[in-house]
Amino acid sequence: MTAPRAFAGVMTAEMLLAYLEQCLCATLQLSSSTIIGLTPVPAVREVIEKAWLWSAPMRFHEILPSLRFQLHGTHSSHGSEAWRLDRDHCSAADFWAIDANNPDCDGRDVYGRPEQNIAAMSDAELERLITREIAPMVDEIGGAAIAVRMDGRTMFFNYGLAERINKRPVTSDTLFNTASIRKVFEATLLAEAINQGELALTDRVADYVPELRQGEYISRVTLGQLASHTSGLLLPTDHPPWPDYRYSLSDFLRALNTWTPSEGRQPGKQHTYTHAGYVLLQLALERRFATPIAQLLEQRIFKPLGLLSTSIPATGVDGRAQLEPAFMARAVQGYSLDGHPIGAPGDQQGFFNFPGTGQMFSSARDLALLLAAELGELSIEPPLRDAMATTQHGLFVISPRNTQALAWEINNYGGPVIIDKPGGLNNASTYIGMVTAKKLGIVILVNRGDQYPHEAARERILPALAQ
């Protein structure tokens, strides 16, 4: 394998990660598929943070002498042997290639493309990038549907199987459990109601769910705090060990009224991601408009966006979504990390047993429309357009790099600012993310648990597309 191509100029942290991955491949004579097994990102990130690359781009030759880190191989062909990558183990060619002052540098970027053509990634290059990142998530176990929005158009990429027994392939119309991507829709519904004066972020949830007025803590929580994960609420449904029972509505209200926070917690003063908070937000929206959440979203979000395959179906006695036969035939079989089937197609994961709390199902084609609308590239009515813009505004600063908006998370690691929402269950891994400044984004739907597509999107895919 030849050494990575040379690079001239300033690199962001994401580009450094990509270069070091290539450098390691060349040095150890490994294939690109093998390097995925080495999972270098955490170790490299630690080095980069020490070099201050997350806060601002730097020239390689300024920090190169201090670079020294260790990666532990997990690929079966290398067992647990540790590889150390430093100036002694990489060839001279590897290191002069990243020196911005080197006269032999040929002006290509970290991906081997001429610098002046960075913005013009070809369809073939895009497919190679997506395939490299998605293939390990599928790994002959499940399948994935991808939608990429850039340059004013949408491209779809499909991998693997929706269901293995019948060898049913994934398509752009295959229905996936969207997991926490559903929160984006409920946040949009809330934002539209706020913009139209029907609700306010500062309204207390107990104003709409009066059963909660007796709770000392929960009675002080607002709709805005629920939607921005700053309520402080944290029920057993929010973290392992997961409960082995499902909450009825009366159980849920009782738990909320009796819940007491850790010492020092106050509504609006901390960030704690909570699924239960969005279930409560759903209930408040239903009470305010006297309409089931599935119907509210259908009327005010799904239909206006033209989402013909997106729904929150009721749950049947068998624990599966009550989808029409034609829709059920498009639903994926979910698989665990190690490939075991979990549930059946249309499986309704969850810890709540009352209407509206099931999973949302959608396709890459439908979520590509959502993505286009979020980027301002779909013709929709002003109230919905403005609501989407409202959800993207930061409300709570978690760290210098992360800000919480309404459902959306805003990430700034020194490269492009990424607004996104990951989701995951033990049989599904999902992601929607965008770089609004560049009018580009991606949807990733995988019918396999514990794949964390947000890591690939944030650290490699979106930074590469935004160049």
Number of domains in the chain: 2
Judge if 85 and 157 occupy the same domain. Answer: no
- Number of Cβ within 10 Å of residue 310's Cβ equals 25
Determine the 3-state secondary structure of 443 from DSSP: strand
Q: Supply the CATH number for residue 403's domain.
A: 3.40.710.10
Confidence at residue 349, expressed as pLDDT on a 0 to 100 scale: 82
> What would the two tokens of residue 186 be?
């409920």
Structural domain range at position 345:
122-467
Q: Is residue 297 part of a domain?
A: yes
**Distance set, CA 168 to CA 142, 159, 161, 345 (Å):** 10, 11, 6, 12
Final residue belonging to a domain, choices 117, 144, 170: 117
Angle, to 10 degrees, between the axis of helix 41-50 and the axis of helix 13-28?
130
Judge if 146 and 29 occupy the same domain. Answer: no
CA–CA distance, 188 with 391 (Å, rounded to integer): 6
Confidence at residue 263, expressed as pLDDT on a 0 to 100 scale: 84
Judge if 359 and 247 occupy the same domain. Answer: yes
Where is 463: in which H helix or E strand? helix 462-465
Backbone phi, then psi, for 116, in 5-degree steps? -70, -15
Confidence at residue 20, expressed as pLDDT on a 0 to 100 scale: 52
Judge if 189 and 217 occupy the same domain. Answer: yes
Final residue belonging to a domain, choices 64, 97, 117: 117
Q: Among residues 81, 142, 46, which one has the least CA distance to residue 430?
A: 142
CA–CA distance, 338 with 467 (Å, rounded to integer): 35
Residues 6 or more apart whose Cβ sits within 8 Å of residue 324: none
- Low-confidence stretches of the chain (pLDDT < 50) are 1-15, 19, 21, 23-119
> What would the two tokens of residue 294 be?
């599935």
Judge if 239 and 386 occupy the same domain. Answer: yes
Judge if 103 and 164 occupy the same domain. Answer: no
- DSSP letter at 451 equals -
Confidence at residue 183, expressed as pLDDT on a 0 to 100 scale: 98
Judge if 166 and 47 occupy the same domain. Answer: no
Count the helix, strand and coil residues of the chain and give each as a percent rounded to the nearest 5. 40, 20, 45
Judge if 29 and 92 occupy the same domain. Answer: yes
> What would the two tokens of residue 343 be?
């549930």
Q: Is residue 2 part of a domain?
A: no
Q: Is residue 85 part of a domain?
A: yes
Does this model's pTM top 0.85? Answer: no
Where is 374: in which H helix or E strand? helix 364-374
Q: Among residues 279, 225, 238, which one has the least CA distance to residue 404?
A: 225
Q: Is residue 228 part of a domain?
A: yes
CB 267 within 8 Å of CB 232: yes
CB 408 within 8 Å of CB 237: no
CA–CA distance, 356 with 350 (Å, rounded to integer): 11
Judge if 126 and 68 occupy the same domain. Answer: no
CA–CA distance, 155 with 443 (Å, rounded to integer): 10
Q: Is residue 349 part of a domain?
A: yes
CA–CA distance, 174 with 422 (Å, rounded to integer): 19
Q: What is the pLDDT of residues 421-430, one digit of tens each?
A: 999 999 999 9
Final residue belonging to a domain, choices 56, 89, 117: 117
